[in-house]
Structures are given as structure tokens and as C-alpha cells.
Structure 1
Amino acid sequence: IPLHPVEHSTRDPTTLTFEWHVTLGTRAPDGVEKQVYLVNGHFPGPTIEGRSGDRIIVRVYNDLRDEGLSLHWHGLRMQGFNAMDGAVGFTQCPISPGSSFVYDFRIRDDEHGTFWWHSHAQLQRGDGLFGGLVIHEPRRSDANAALQDEALLLIGDWFHRKQSDVLAWYSSPASAGKEPVPDSMVINGRGRYDCSMAVPARPVHCKATALSDFPPLIKKSAGETRLRVVNTGTVAGLTLGVDGASLQPLQVDGGCKVDAKAGDSVGTLYPGERVDLLLKWKSDQAAEPWFNVYLDHENLGFGNPALNPNHTFPALPKTVTGHDREYASPLKFRDHHMDLATLSSTEEPSHIVTADEEQTILLYASTQTLSVNGNIPLGFINHTSWHPQSLPLLSQNRSSWDDKQLIPFIPSGSKPTRVKLVINNLDDGSHPFHLHGYSFHVLSSFRAESGSLGSYNPYATPESDSPGEWNREKPLRKDTVSVPRKGHVVLSFVADNPGMWMLHCHMLVHMGTGMA
């Protein structure tokens, strides 16, 4: 999706107004027909481009027959606009069929980066109700020449079944608590599925996609291009590579600049996470360069003979037609692979990060399949499983909240509280956790060796004796973080944004079964 940095970064802040109609329609994003959500007739939905300080107004019309919906602005702080956050059960009721709702909020003056918007009602995100959201950093007009071409890549795993059917399977004893495996992958709403891989047990209406049907992901074969990449998927992480080009991470999530060298491949990018990459063509650039994506298998609990985890797409305007190199060879992890888990920030260290936190929140996340629950897998945080109440919590007095739900409370005083948030993962797969309303610094991340458990309890163990390495000097600032399998993360943030903010796993089946 081409972006327009000069148009937005050099103008004054303004008000951007949009009118969106949400419907359902039959499309074949990867060659296989499926009912997907459309915004103004398009999948994926519109991309919003703005700059710091802009006011954004989106009137959303729910033209669905029998589903409510909401929209969340993933990664934005939404400071002073908690009611616009879009989290059903927390800050709003679903927009009912036949009605509309106006989202009206302002971007902070210091806020810029790669974000995205998506449904936060039911499972609609996994069936296509999402789009891009890019906030450009203001620049002087004489800096125009320094701006690279920019492109937005919305990349994610894709299921041929409706997400309601996927969750119904997962929420049954048949799944044994193993995560569902996608069938395919799409970039900016387009994919390339090999129809011959469909299995008889799950027949599909499929038509092979010709290369000539694909718009190029990158406009030019010289110079530099900034790729803003979003993992819009529901389960799998991503690793990326481009034939004949290097990829250098520039920023992660909402604009945190990073110190990183260029690599031939970059990963792993987990659901909900974003990374900005600087693409540079090499002198030995391939005649027909391909954009390669590998779906990480860590969170795929079963094999799926219909899935090819390696996908290729034309990187540049095509000089070939038909189905040449129709399906991919495996993406090679060469010596020049850039591991996103090893990045450090280039931002100036903050006294807030280096100071001792004043409040600690300790969480243990897991999926459990218990006989008392009919052997149906549920997501738990500290032995509680989130289920939205009939009225959003923001509209209720705290005394009326369900006392069986885990809702940590951070009191506001004369100055913001410094909070340490520890999330332990008791499962065999990673959990990408997203915190609404805040960005946080990742002070420590630890993955246990196979067969062991790497939990951390700050009340019992000092930092110096914790199993993970700590980084208080140049920690990454993020809003979505992968909590490693059988490991933990330690996060730090300043509670300066009062409101009701959701913390949840961004894997759709985990959030849909209570991991929030």
C-alpha cells in the first residue's frame, strides 16, 4: 500500500474525517472464496494516514445483519479518549446492526509511527475487519528530499474457515488445547494458495491466482524504501526476506527507534507487532526479486497438509506472467538474519526507566484444559478467565464489577505511578500480549530451555538473581510484546493515562477464550 509521507509530515495538524460502512461480502483473497468483512466495499479496510497532533473522526455504520462491532486503534495512547478505545466489555458496547458510532480522538503531539486499526468485537479481526494506520513524524519542508519511498505491508496468516468455526473447534475437547493452524497467508488482502493442497475433508472453492494479478509490493528497483510491516494475523509469527536486498530494522511498534544492522531476513514478528524496515537493493540484485515470508510454526499445535508455511510475492513491477515460481521454496535463514528479539533502543534513557518502580503487578498466563470445564480449553491470567459483562466496565461503578475477574487497579495520585508489570507464560508456545492505552519499556525477556520453567516472581527474587538479562539503559519501547514459551517478560511504564485499559493475548483463540 503506497504511503504519502511528504504530504502529511510537512503540513500543519488538521482534522481528518472518514465515513465507513461495514458489510460482509464473498471474496477470494488467496484464490479461495470466503465471507470477509468489507469497509466501503474493500478488504482490507481503508488506511488512515496522518501526522502528530491530528484529530481523527471516523463515523462507523454497522450494515451487518446480526452482528455488533467495534474498532480499536492498536498502539495509539488515546490519552484523554478512553471511551474511544473500542474494547467491547471494557469501554463500549458493540455498535448494534443498523446503527452508527463516531470515534473522535486526537493524536498526541509526540506520537508517531506504524499502527493499525481492527475490530475488537467477537472474532471479526480474523475475517478481515482491519486496516492500516500510519502517523507520520512532522518534518520541516526542506527535509523533503531526505524522505524515502514508503509502503505499508499488512501481513498475516489466513483461515479459509470462518473464525467462529475456528473458535468452535478450538473450544471443544477435540482440540486438546492445541492452537488451530492457518491455511494460507495474505499481504494487503492478497494471497497465493495452491489449490491442489486442499484436503478432501475440507473442500474449498478455489481458483489459482496468476502473478499478473498481483500489484508490486515495492515501486522501484533502486534507492531505498521504508517498509512499514504489521502482523495482522491471529496465530503465527512472521519472518521476512527480499531477494537481492537487505532489510534494516528502523523502528518497532509505535515509533521506538532501534539500533540494528541490516540482514537478509528479519523476524520473528508476532501478531499485533509492527516493525519499520529500510530496504536497500544490493549490487547483485536478482533479475526477478521475490518478497519471501515464512510463517513461524511455534504456535501451530497441529500439522496442516493444506498449509505451505513459505510464501513468495513479486517484489517489483512484473516482467513475467502466468504462474512462474508459483509457490515458494523455504526462506533460508542465513548468517545475516536479524533477530528482532535482540534489538535495543536508540532513544535516550529515561529516569523513569532507571528508577525503582512504585507498584508491581505479577501475572501468570496459561491455557488450561480442565475436566471441571468440560475439557474445553480456556485462557487464564492468575486463574481467572475474562468474559465480557453485559455492560462495559467503564460505565459501571467499581463495586458492581464481577469479583471473579482479575482487574489490577493502579490508583492515581499527585504524580503518576511507576509500574513494573511481570507476565509469566506457563505454556509451551509464546503469547503476544498487547496493552491498550500505554507503551512500555521491555526491561527483561527470558525463554526457558526445553523441559524447564522460567517464571519470575519479583516479590521473592531480586533482579540480580532473576533468570533473564536486564536492560534498563536502552530498553525497547513497545505496546505489544511476545512473552516467550515457559518464560517471562518484565515491563515498566508510567501510569499517566487514567482509564480502563485492556491487557490481553493477541492470538485470537486465546483472547476469545478468556486470556485478558
Structure 2
Amino acid sequence: MTIYHGMLIRLTAVLLLLQYCQAKTVNLDFNVTWVNANPDGLHERKVVGINGQWPLPVIEVDKGDRLIVNMYNGLGDKETSIHWHGMFQNGTNDMDGPSMVTQCPVPPGASITYNFTIPQNGTYWYHCHTDSCYPDGYRQALIVHDDQAYFNDMYDHELTVTMSDWYHDLIEDIPFIRTENPTGAEPVPDSFLFNDTLNTNIPVEAGKTYLMRLINIGAFVAQYFYIEDHTFRIVEIDGVYVDEQEADTLYIAVAQRYSILVTMKNSTDKNYPIVTVADSLLLDVISPSLQLNQTNWLEYNSNAAHPQAAMKVEISSDLVPYDDMKLVPHDRMELLAEPDMTIEVDVIMDNLNDGAGYAFFNNISYTRPKVPTLYSVLSSGDYATTAQVYGEYTNPFVLGHNAVVEVILNNLDTGSHPFHLHGHNFQLVSRTPSYGPSFQDFADGDPVPFNATENPSSSFPKYPARRDTFVAPPQGNFVIRFVADNPGVWLFHCHIDWHMSQGLAMSFIEAPKQIQERLSLSESHINICEAGNRSYEGNAAASTEDLLDLTGQNEQLPWLPAGFTARGIVAMVFSCVSAFLGMAFIAVYGISGIQSKEDTAAVVTERDGL
């Protein structure tokens, strides 16, 4: 047995060496500029393009390749960055991309080079991670091919499908966090896109099997997905291979990915609708002109009819998606051991003293620091293991190297939230409720926090599904586990971009001593900070003398005074404005004096042109 085990290890090492010997370097130059586009045919607007083009290029690499992207910010009026969504960035945390977390934002006229190796496989995407720029078009698929995938012999062709919500206005021009919107109602999209357009035909061959990679690259709205008169087999979620499971409907939240095998029918006399349906339960107000459902087609025969879908419209009863908790990882990774560290957080949406709506983990609304958190790690010496260094309002948690970490998330909000963890995928060990008709019912009752007595570890699955983006049900909860085996600073946040802008994020500072041993701040990253007039040393307040002194740190606004409500704040603000205007009119009238009858008649005559 020992001899066999040794031979197996040597064989694995040889195969890995062979794979990396065959790896290549993929060099890309991105000139990021504004271009015009009209993807839904309803409104032309400027969008973020690359090398003068939009839609953006799909990046395709092989497992083991090195990806080098030289990005120049030619936007002129916007800072930017690139996050490689789902990439672990082992040893390259400084390439992860979120601004003021692992780098300074790239100012107009400056450049950055992202350079990292891809030891992963599966379906990913890339997008801007500075302010709210990716809904303006800066997002696209990143595909990692793997010649060792267990399902490679099970399909004939491969294709990628993206789905997204779409706004006709620039995100900066859409009013959101403001006194007039105390409930924090998210702006409703103007349309929904399929591969960045509408009414798409996907040519297919009868009898063939296709690997379809599905990615929700939207900013807000989850979408249901199905194909009329077809079932499919799920083989991957968020870069993790799973045992094939037959399904007919998926619920794909923003940032989530699925790979499915679809076998075509043997007849070519019909074309079949591919249907995506926006989750209307997420939308506050729905305009009659907003088309929630889209029909695209598996095109067997270009000369045959392209029928509109016979829509399933009752989400609670007709659109019941496959439960991702039931998927079994193909590698049979077992449930992680009892956690070394448990982080329990409550999600709430509430108002601060400007009357606007914000989002909170444990009453903290993420407020970005004055120094990128990774740079604080690199410049804080022995204080790197002290969470206080990273600021009160970045919601920081310091994780021990190789610790098993459990996150218990209680969603006290009446809306669902897709949460994403950078640098890892995690085990899905518990969720209340599960998918199905009861999923939304929790929004109508009281929040249900996680109860360890009612949900003991013994009830967790033996082989939990893993992914990097997981949906918290309305007023429900979930529990996830992962191993802190990837030293770096990693965000954990809601991937609804509106909620991210409201502060629904926290920071995991993982193995800070190991970060200091393995990473150093490059000259090019320093240059980017200097070009944007930002600090690259010190604590969250940019203090280098006393790292525990957070005087001057960026802070969230104070809470509403006791007794005030959001509606009361709005009423008070408008009352004050009305009173001020009224007094101003009185003052102006008083200063102008009282006109005589003759003067008044003359004014009337002049105004009326008599």
C-alpha cells in the first residue's frame, strides 16, 4: 500500500509538471475608454469599452496559464481597476483588484499591470471594482479551460452565455443614497440583456451535446433560466466541478455561474426558446414597459419559426429552481472540521442621520480606509495582527493561518442578498429556508436567525457544495465554512452593486504575518497611489506614527437621533426647505417695497406686450 501511495504521488507530480510545462503566457493590452452602445435598441448611451469596442472581449485561457493584462485608464474622468472574480490569487493578493482593499484605484492617464497564474478551472468573469463602474459596461466572461475536466468527453461543443440587467443612465447619474429615498429602494433596470443584446439565436446541431457556461454579470437582479422542452445536467458551479445532476430550471443570482450539459434533439423542424426571467420580487416598482422575461433561441433551423416562449410567470409555483445545496462536489471534499473561528453577523438596512438608506454588518456600514488594507498589512509590522489597525468602519476580522472559519449570516432584511467571498470558495453547510415556494414567504414574517441547537453540525451535509457566491434568503440565514489557507486581504460583500455602495461589506485579513513574508509593495503600485494623491503606508487613517491612533479615519455618518424615523427626517428636511424658501420670498418682497397702482399697471402693460 505504501509503495502504491508513493507511486501515485510521483505520478501526480509528473502530471502537474507536464501541465505547467505546457502552460503559456497570455498577454493582453486594455485601453479603457468611453464608447457608445445601444444594446437593447431602446437607448444609446456611453459605456466603458476596451480598445474602442463594446461588448468587452471574452478572455479564454487554459488552466496553468499566466495571464498578463496591461490596463491603461483612458476614461478621462473616472478611476478604475479590474477584479478577477473567483480567482484565488494565491500569492498574488495585490492582483485581486478591489480599490482601497488591495490597491489604489487607477486614476485617468495611469496604467497598471495585472500578472498572475491561473491554477484553477471553470467559469469566471472580470469586472471593475472601483465605486460603481461595472454596471456601466465594464464586465465580461473569463473562461478557464481544463483538459482534465471529468466531463470533457461528454460534450461536442462549448458556448458562453452572459445575462445582465441594464440601465439607460450612467450609474453616477442615478440618484440612490439620498434623503428622498429613505427606504433604500434600488433603482429598477431599464432592460435585461442576453450576451449583451436581445433576441439572440444560438445555432446548434441536432443530436449534439453542448457545454453551456452561464454567468450573471448584472449589478442587481437575479434571473431564472430554462430552455423549453429541454432538460440539462449541471456539472459546475462557480469553478467547482459537481457530480452531474439533471435539472430544468436555475436561479442565477448576480455573480453566480453554472456550467450545464444540454443535449439537442434529433429533429431540426423546430427552434426552442431559451428563457430568462428577472426575479421581480427584488424590484420595488415595475414599469408596465419593463419586459421581465426574455426569449432567445436554440436555433436548429434558421428557416424554421422562432416562437416566443410560453412563459412561466408565477415564480412561487412554476419557477422552482434546482437547489444548489444539493449539489455534490466531484472531488468529494468532506465537511470541514469544527471551526477554529466563528464569525456571526447580522445584515440590516437602516438610515443614518442624513435620512438616506444604508446597509450594515453588525451596525457597521463599510467605509473605505485612507490606505488600501493590504498596504496597511505590509507597513504595520508587528501590529498587523491587530484588527484595530484596519479601521473601525472596514469591519475587519483577522484570520489565523490555516484556521477553519465559519461564517453565520443572519439576514434581518426582507430582501435576498448574494454574498461573495474573494480569494476562496466556501462550503455551503446550512441555509434556512431552502429554495422553493417558501423561499420568499420568510419576508412576510419575523427574521429567523441561525439556531445551532435546531441545526447542529451533525445535520450538515457530508460533502457540502462549494461556490464563491451564495444567496441569503429574505429574513433567513446561512452558514458557510472555509479554510484560511490563502494569506491575503479578502472582501466579503453583497454582490448587488447598490448594496455594496451602501456599505454591505467586511474585510478578512488572513494570515497577516504570512502576507508580510510573501508580498511586498511594488513600485508600480506606489506610483498609482501617488498619481491619485493617496497614501500607501500606515493604518486606516494613514497614520504611520501611532498605528492604533485612528484619528481622521473615514467614518460612516452618525445614526439618526432617538425618536426620529426616516419618514420624519424627510418631512423635516422638506419642511425646513419650504420654510426657508417662504422666508426668502417674504424678505425679497419686503426689500422690493410696495408698488403704486401706476407702477403696477405699467408692469402689467409691459409683461403683456400691450
TM-score band (shorter)? Answer: 0.7 to 0.9
* Cα distance in structure 1, aligned partners of 2:210 and 2:30: 30
- What is the distance in 2 between the residues matched to 1:468 and 1:331? 37
- Measured on the aligned residues, the alpha-carbon RMSD in Å equals 2.7
Is the contact between residue 244 and residue 284 of structure 1 (CA under 8 Å) also seen in structure 2?
no
Q: Deviations over 1:358-393 (max 9, x none)?
A: 11111111221x2x4222011111111112223211
Greater relative contact order (Cα 8 A, min sep 6): structure 1 or 2? Answer: 1
Alignment of 1:188-227 (within 5 A): 188-191=195-198, 214=200, 216-227=201-212
Match of 1:277 among 260, 270, 279: 260
Map 1:79-158 onto structure 2 (within 5 A): 79-108=90-119, 111-139=120-148, 146-158=154-166
TM-superposed CA distance for 1:427, in Å, is 0.7
CA–CA distance in structure 1, aligned partners of residues 320 and 207 of structure 2: 22
Alignment partner of 1:446 is 2:432: yes
2:35 maps to what in 1?
A: 25
Partner of 1:298: 281
**Which amino acid is the alignment partner of residue 121 of structure 2?**
H
**1:428-443 equivalent positions in 2, closer than 5 A:** 428-443=414-429
Structure 1 residues 340, 144: closer, same or farther in 2, change over 3 A?
A: closer
Task: Please state how far the C-alpha of 1:331 moved relative to its aligned partner.
Answer: 3.5
Distance 2:194 2:204 in 1: 16
- Is the contact made by 1:289 and 1:316 (CA closer than 8 Å) also made in structure 2? yes
Give the drift of 1:137: 1.7
Tell me how far 1:170 sits from its aligned partner.
4.7
**Cα separation, 2, equivalents of 1:425 and 1:337:** 22
Deviation, 1:440, is 0.4
Structure 2, unaligned runs of 5 or more: 1-18, 434-440, 506-610
Given that residues 70 and 111 in structure 2 are in contact (C-alpha distance below 8 angstroms), is that contact kept between their aligned partners in structure 1?
A: yes
Structure 1 vs Structure 2: percent identity of aligned residues?
A: 28
Residue 370 of structure 2 aligns with an amino acid whose one-letter code is: S
Q: Is 1:479 equivalent to 2:468 in the alignment?
A: yes
- 2:224/2:321 contact within 8 Å kept: no
Look up the SS of the partner of 2:374 in the other structure: helix
Q: What secondary structure is seen at the aligned counterpart in 1 of 2:369?
A: coil
Residue in 2 that maps onto 1:510: 499
**Quick one: distance in 2 between partners of 1:245 and 1:507?**
30
1:176 aligns to what? 183
Alignment partners' CA distance in 1, 2:58 and 2:369: 32
Residues in 2 aligned to 1:301 and 1:24: alpha-carbon distance in whole angstroms = 30
Q: SS of the residue aligned with 2:91?
A: coil
Q: Mark the CA change 1:384 to 1:14 in structure 2 (over 3 Å): closer, same or farther.
A: same
Matched, 1:185 2:192: yes
8 Å CA contact retained: 1:246, 1:262: yes
Q: Is the 8 A contact 1:253 1:273 kept in 2?
A: yes
Whole-Å Cα distance in 2 between the matches of residues 269 and 79 of structure 1?
A: 27
- Structure in which a larger fraction of residues adopt strand: 1
Q: Quick one: which amino acid aligns to residue 489 of structure 1? A: F
Match of 2:242 in 1: 257
- Per-residue CA distance 1:274-325 (angstroms, 9 max, x = gap): 011111224677712221110111211222223111111132276359x975
Q: Contact between 2:336 and 2:482, CA under 8 Å: does it hold in 1?
A: no
Asked if the contact 1:294/1:309 (under 8 Å) is kept, the reply is yes
Deviations 1:123-143 (A, max 9, x none): 111111011111112349xx9
The one of 56, 72, 80 aligned to 1:45: 56
Once the two structures are TM-superposed, the CA of residue 22 in structure 1 deviates from its matched residue by: 0.8
For the 8 Å contact 1:170–1:179, the answer to whether it is kept is no
Cα distance in 2 between the residues matched to 1:165 and 1:426: 30
Alignment of 1:355 with 2:365, yes or no, is: no
Query: Quick one: structure 1 residues 76 and 508, their matched pair in 2 at CA, closer, same or farther if it must change by over 3 Å?
Result: same
Paired residue for 1:165? Answer: 173
Residue 206 of structure 1 aligns with which residue?
Answer: none
Residues 57 and 426 of structure 1, relative CA distance in 2, 3 Å threshold: same
Which protein has the larger Cα radius of gyration, Structure 1 or Structure 2?
Answer: 2
Q: Within the alignment, does 1:391 sit opposite 2:380 as a pair?
A: no
- Structure with the higher helix share, 1 or 2: 2
Which deviations, in whole Å up to 9, do the C-alpha atoms of 1:187-237 show, x marking residues without a partner?
Answer: 22112xxxxxxxxxxxxxxxxxxx6xx4x3343333111110001111111
Aligned in 2, Cα 1:159/1:320: closer, same or farther, shift over 3 Å?
Answer: farther
Q: Within 2, Cα distance between the matches of 1:379 and 1:498? A: 28
Q: Give, in whole Å, the separation in 2 of the partners of 1:479 and 1:319.
A: 38
CA contact (8 A) 1:259 1:346 kept: no
Residues 36 and 455 of structure 1: CA distance in aligned 2, closer, same or farther (over 3 Å) = same
2:417 matched to 1:407? no
Could you tell me how far apart the structure 2 residues matched to 1:336 and 1:409 are? 41
2:404 aligned residue (418, 431, 436):
418
Matched residues in 2 for 1:73 and 1:105: separation? 10
Task: Confirm whether residue 495 of structure 1 aligns to residue 478 of structure 2.
Answer: no
**Contact kept in structure 1, 2:390 and 2:396, CA below 8 Å:** no
Which range moves more in the overlay, 329-338 or 399-408?
A: 329-338
The answer for the alignment partner of 1:207 in structure 2 is none
- Taking a change above 3 Å as real, the CA distance of residues 294 and 236 of structure 1, as seen in their structure-2 partners, is same
Matches of 2:101 and 2:126 in 1, distance apart? 17
CA distance in 2, matches of 1:41, 1:235: 26
Distance 1:134 1:470, change over 3 A: farther
The CA deviation string for residues 337-378 of structure 1, in whole angstroms up to 9 with x for no partner, is 542345321434445x2421111111111221x2x4222011
Matching of residue 236 in structure 1 with residue 221 in structure 2: yes
Aligned counterpart, 1:203: none
What is the alpha-carbon distance in structure 2 between the residues aligned to residue 430 and residue 245 of structure 1? Answer: 29
TM-score by length of 1: 0.84
Aligned equivalents of 1:56 and 1:328: distance in 2?
40
Aligned 8 A contact 1:243 1:285 in 2: no
